[in-house]
A and B are shown apart, each in its own frame.
Chain A
Amino acid sequence: MEYILQGVFQAFRLLFSGDPETFSAVAATVKASSFSMAVSLVLGVPLGFVLGHLRFPGRRQVRLVVDTMLALPTVFIGLLVYAFISRQGPLGGMGLLFSLPGIAVGQAILALPIVVALSATAIEGMDAGLRTTLISLGASRRRLLVTSLWEVRHGILAAALTAYGRVMTEVGISMMVGGNIKWHTRTITTAIALETGKGMFATGIALGLVLLFIAFAVTLPASLLRRRRQS
């Protein structure tokens, strides 16, 4: 059991001694997850608005599909993305395999349903009176969109944080698509899988704690934003 304590100490050592292998994994994790989050938010929030706001035929079926996609297993996404970007696959010419952009594509597929479903739910839960008021005041469609999104910004922030948590902690896509290549596509999670496989439990625990530090650094500004609203 002593490796738990060892792991805690080692986490601080890895972070504050500037261990190059750890920082390479941190950079890989942060880069891949930032790209995928940017893509999934740009695509997902407008789609979520459409799904939550407009009433169109087949809406409930679309919602059902999106909700089902929330359960997409990461290894399965990894396998599908591999099949497409392998040199034998339809997108083989793009050179995405064993690269961070390749991982980001898979992670965006993972994050998109979360962003769409949760922002649609936030829009649905919006005060119905607001919409009527806005329309009666003669608001344009664009104005309606912007005001609605602003009104539910905390719901969308929650959607983004949920998706970010899932993206940053997944192993399946990074392993299948990235190949866990040292100095290149080794993320914190694939490094944990590798170290655990090698029986280096303390290093695995240390890396897990490093991941939590990053999560803290990301959620802190979000929490500040929320506090600002309450004050």
Chain B
Amino acid sequence: MKNSGRWIVAGTLLCLVLLMALPCGAADRTLMMATTTSTDNTGLLDYLSPEFTKATGIELKWTAVGTGKALKLGENCDVDVLMVHAPAAEQKYVAAGFGIARREVMFNDFVIIGPPADPAGIKGQSVTGALKTIAAKSAVFVSRGDNSGTHKKELSLWAANGGAVPEKQSWYVQTGQGMLASINIAAQKNGYTMTDRGTFIKYAHTHGGNPPLVVVVEGDDILKNQYSVMQVNPARCAKVQNDLAKQFSDWICSPQAQKLIADFRLMGKQLFTPNAK
């Protein structure tokens, strides 16, 4: 019986040794990007990254967080390149010297989605009018509440035309989570929320084209959602791989990658419109 104990110990040790030997799959040149949840949740990056590796030999790694955290990771020199969607915040970021070479890559638009029955009756209204109606009727509205690009946009829409930004109202739900998570919470609460169209199409696709929430307000000019790429400033961050970041920036703005973005479809619908100059 004593022997079996020894075997177990030896087996465990052997397993540990084998474990350490497992390959880690790291390529020679790896680019680290911080990006927003929408580029990841829609599957766009899963679709683009092998093409990028094929074209340049660089492996792309990314962490999908809200735009606020992505900018912070760049400020702390922890990533090489950023792909985010908060133009006003990005311009401040470049002016502060944290990022360089901001280039527009693609856009889609924000939409307000809600239950098909539209309990607050906002269908067909302008976006600011719709938000005022939601507030007046205390209809449930789910906000990202996480300082992401979508959240910043939503706050600016409440504040447009001198409106009040809700905070503690019981109908205003701040999730602090990603876009798809927030949409799911809105669906559970039978409420409204604002999302980028790409994530909404992904959501509709997941629900087999028959989602519990549908688009109720869209098409306003102020709902445009611009995505841009920025390199983390190598003058501040000595260790960032600026040459790789620049290659990514050049590649994603190239005609070849722009066409890939235009061809990225779910349920026959285009999720992002390329517009690099």
Contact = CB atoms under 8 A, between A and B. Distances in A.
Same assembly: yes
B128 interface: no
A197 B206 contact: no
Interface string A62-103: 000000000000000000000000111000110001101000
Nearest to A221: B8
Interface stretch (B61-69, B104-112, B248-256, B262-270): B61-69
Interface in B1-38: 1, 4-5, 8, 11-12, 16, 19-20, 22, 24-26, 32
B186 to A, nearest CB: 11
Nearest to A220: B8
A166 interface: no
Contact of B206 (A181, A199, A228): A199
Interface size class of A (residues with CB under 8 A): 20 to 34
Given A27-B22, A30-B19, A38-B16, A199 B78 contact: no
Interface in A1-60: 27, 30-31, 34, 38
Contact of B63 (A88, A180, A198): A180
A208 interface: no
Contacts of A34: 16, 19
Contacts of B4: 224, 228
Given A30-B19, A38-B16, A87 B78 contact: yes
A199 B22 contact: no
Interface in A153-205: 179-184, 196-200
B41 A180 contact: no
Contacts of B237: 87
Contacts of B178: 197-198
B77 interface: yes
Interface in B99-126: none
B1 A231 contact: yes
A139 interface: no
B8 A179 contact: no
A167 B1 CA distance: 31
Given A38-B16, A179-B63, A180-B64, A200 B239 contact: no
B242 interface: no
Residue among A98, A100, A200, A228 with the highest chain B CB neighbour number at 10 A: A98
A212 interface: no
B203 interface: yes
Nearest to A200: B206
A221 B13 CA distance: 12
A135 interface: no
A86 B180 contact: no
B177 A87 contact: no
Nearest to A178: B63
Given A97-B78, A197-B181, A198-B181, A181 B19 contact: no
Given A179-B63, A228-B5, A87 B239 contact: yes
B133 interface: no
A196 B181 CA distance: 7
Contacts of B5: 225, 228
Contacts of B8: 221, 224-225
B147 interface: no
B151 to A, nearest CB: 15
A200 B22 CA distance: 29
Residue among A98, A198, A199, A224 with the highest chain B CB neighbour number at 10 A: A198
B184 interface: yes
Contacts of B180: 197-199
A171 to B, nearest CB: 13
A225 B32 CA distance: 45
Interface of A: 27, 30-31, 34, 38, 86-88, 92-93, 97-98, 100, 179-184, 196-200, 221, 224-225, 228, 231
- Shortest Cβ-Cβ A-B pairs, 3 listed: A179-B63, A197-B181, A87-B77
